[in-house]
Structure 1
Amino acid sequence: MGVKTSLSAADLAHIESTVAATDALLDRNYPGDDGSRQPVHTLYVPADQFSTSFTADYGQAALDAVNSKGGLEHLGALLGQDEELAAAVAPRVAAKLASEPIEDLRLDFEDGFGDRGDAVEDEAAVTAGRAVNAAVEAGTAPPFIGIRFKCFEAPTRARGLRTLDLFVSSLVESGGLPDGLILTLPKVTTVDQVRAMDFAVSRLEEVHGLPAGRLRFEVQVETPQLILAADGTSPVARLAHEVPGRISALHYGTYDYSASLEVSAEYQSMEHPVADFAKEVMQLAVAGTGIRLSDGSTNILPLGEGVEAAWALHGRLVRRSLERGYYQGWDLHAAQLPSRFSATYAFYRQGLPASAARLRNYVEQTPGAVLDEPATARALANFVLRGLVCGAVGADEVKALTGLDQAQLSALAHPRLAVSTSK
């Protein structure tokens, strides 16, 4: 070679010791996405409405709603899809509403349930656990399901903990925890409330003989104090590091957050500037941690005389969230499911040709008009993979366009996971 290196073994050892703590931090606190499925939405319903037929009933109600107003292709036109795109999206949405109309369901014991007295809520919490397991056994449960209980503020903390305890205990006693179980902690204000939740679920794991870390939970970001604390720091950025591996997602709460900043009711929206700021902070806070993000909801429902306008609004907001890297959002009514899936499917179908071409060029090392780096290739693979998993695009068309199957896409999108599973 003719040229000697200048750094000594001692120099290199010093560098290694200097960055050892960084290596440990990245390995523990920034593992990246785990490659599992993320639902495109979460539907909130009062907890006592759930039954084994609930999912199918909601899917039928969604189909009835859209068919009564011109059908899914007409809905596509309302959402700005051209004829070709609407014709491609409509049958896929129809199939989705018939087979899996709800990807993630939250049985609500908070705002959607209210205060009905302890006896009523106790019974509802136990019944909910049994009903979830009955639906799982019958094959009618959504892939993801769980509860939102009351928050850990002083007036409702004991009630929220009791409902959480009864629901989890009921699940364990009636058949065990479903694979897609999700627990939601609302109106979080401080890191201490998340620590308290971590302790609560840890104790439930111990009491019921569950593996440590089995009970993960979502945090709803609905208060400004979680975005900016009195000392000028951002508590939401600390959450992943205070309870590593315990939080599965952060969900933005449109109306509580906006109201707390005194935004008048008329202007409270997922696209208000205060919402965009909070959601950008949330994105920064969880980047690389593996914690996922969900946007909030719109309370303008497709009912009465304003159905088409509400669908157009909902579809536009869904698309807006997707474009900003929020791949999940809240729905509040069966009639929002058609616009949720139509807008989502159009997003992935419109982006598929260009993303697939760039991905194929990258994999095959074919020169193209865009020179993509590995990070961009991961994003391209993840985009195509999300579209495939949610049903927007088919495995055959993805294979034809990219030359890749789902396993290969997943390995490209999540290379760290692929390496760890191959060892």
Structure 2
Amino acid sequence: MSQTNLFELAQQGDVTAISRLMNRSLKPQGVVAKVTLKNGCLYVLVESEAIPNQSTLTEWIHDGIKNLGLSSIEKLKIYGRQTGYTSNAWVQEFSIIVASDPVISNAVAPQNHPYSSDAGKIEQPNSLPTSVYQKSPVPLNTVSVKTTKPEPMSVPVGKLLLLYLLGIGGIIFAISNLSLLDDPTIIWFIVIFIVACLIFISTPQGQEFIVKNSQKTLEQQAEDQASRLAASQRQVQFDKLQKKGLIEQNEKLVFSQIATYKGGVKGYPQASSTTGWAFIAENHFIFLDNSLSFNLPYNRVIEAKLDYFELGGVRGMLALGEVGRQLQQTKNILEITYLDNENVERNSRFQIHGALTIPGEAQKAMEFINYLLEYKHKFYQKTQSQTSEPMVKLEKLKELRNRGLITEDEFNHKRNQILEQL
């Protein structure tokens, strides 16, 4: 997906697009952002191996959201967390004020936005600084002019009061039944246990325990929303494929990925610049874009393989600009060898997309081919006689040439036809 299209979706309030814009700049620096929207408040969780730098990230994220010009977002709450920990190192909240007059809207052009790849370079004034970590939980250079104070983790008063009332009620009930037992020891054990629990929930550690076990974490909320969006998108895709007659009524749509046609389908050009979708269903491989509708049953697929390369480490992160654009044209090509309706063997090619970095797209392509190969048991299997038949034809053709019954040109022409079937 192009940067312009991604910005258009983000400016419409698409949470997935906003998350991808952030992570395009953050992931190369070892920081991951997870975004969810609820009741007009945008929640952003940033995680990294070290504690994320509060002042650096909050200002950068706030400026980016404000410049999208979203009227649907009234508040922005940012959480910083170290990878592997369940509690947040810091929390910061902003109020988002968007101009009501479209003439003076906060929205900016994609190339000037803080999240854009051009504005995100180190030398730009609105860029994300190199240091996005802090060595201690307390920011070394806290900025308080534009922000509110960090919000501490707290237990809801109603829930805490209910726990106290239940504990006191349990103590009163236990003591009132002391006379019913010959040995009141067990009652006193119950009373002591309840008192210990009440003391524990009065401590900061106890209150943190209650928060962790009574509320969904922000990460879980983001994952739930992503799952719902994925299921909704999958249903829309299924309905579209069914209308075009590309998928059966009871067939399950297993996986889908953005892709571009690179040639090999009879009757269509060698390649297309239009981005489409590649689908893996239970019984078919499907590709759909504005000009091509391709439905291939697995029992006609001979082989599926991925022609890709992987750039590791720093090289993979720095393959941007002109180098990156050139690499985009050659990497992650899905090659499917199949038999067409005339039983002619063909080789179709599709370039798999779906990520903002080269390593990310390599991972998406590997994920796609792995899903596809789960149906390898349904692929077309050549029998021994079918494999040896072209070789027999070549021997007979050679014999005819040696006996002078066909010319050299006729021999070469027929030989090429047979070789195409191998």
Q: TM-score, normalised by structure 2?
A: 0.20
Larger Rg: 2
Instruction: State TM-score, norm by structure 1.
Output: 0.20
Higher percent of residues as strand: 2
Structure with larger RCO (C-alpha < 8 A, sep 6+)? 1
